């Protein structure tokens, strides 16, 4: 029961962050004629955010199968990893690469 709530919390947080990123992308293009460099940067951030959400969902799914006493720690590790991944999306990246993978704590 606790692991299902934790997985739902991770999914909800990731979805909200994705919606914020999408709204920022729409606002940037609605301001007028899109700047090609800004559009590329915005697309790179959106792609990175999508990878983070995908990783967070996988992590939450793994936590859903964890024992009841391990689920809160697993969920906290997923949230911490998701925040770190999303923070990395906002940083200047010299070359396109994938964000760090989220892994639940070892059993």
Q: Quote the domain boundaries for residue 11.
A: 2-27+36-90
Is 85 part of any domain? yes
- Locus of tokens 């859903």: 64
Residue 96 lies in a domain: no
Residue 100 falls inside a structural domain: no
Report the chain's C-alpha Rg in angstroms. 16
Q: Does residue 73 belong to any structural domain of this protein? A: yes
Q: Is residue 98 part of a domain?
A: no
Whether residue 75 is contained in a domain is answered as: yes
pLDDT band at 73 (very low <50, low <70, confident <90, very high): very high
Across the chain, mean pLDDT equals 74
Indicate the range of 11-20, 30-39, 70-79 predicted with least confidence. Answer: 11-20
**Distance (Å, whole) CA 86 – CA 74:** 18
Average pLDDT over residues 81-106: 68
How many structural domains compose the chain? 1
- On the question of pLDDT at 26 being above 80, the answer is no
Mean pLDDT across the stretch 69-88? 90
In a domain, 40, yes or no: yes
101: in domain: no
Angle between helices 36-64 and 71-90 (to 10 degrees): 170
Q: How far is CA 96 from the centre of its chain?
A: 17
Q: At residue 65, does pLDDT exceed 70? A: yes
């Amino acid at each position: 029961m606790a692991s299902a709530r934790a997985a739902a919390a991770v999914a909800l947080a990731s979805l909200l962050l994705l919606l914020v990123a999408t709204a920022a992308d729409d606002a940037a293009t609605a301001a007028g004629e899109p700047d090609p460099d800004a559009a590329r940067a915005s697309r790179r951030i959106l792609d990175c955010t999508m990878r983070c959400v995908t990783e967070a969902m996988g992590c939450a799914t793994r936590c859903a199968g964890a024992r009841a006493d391990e689920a809160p720690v697993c969920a906290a590790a997923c949230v911490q990893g998701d925040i770190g991944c999303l923070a990395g999306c906002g940083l200047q990246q010299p070359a396109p690469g994938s964000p760090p993978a989220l892994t639940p704590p070892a059993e």
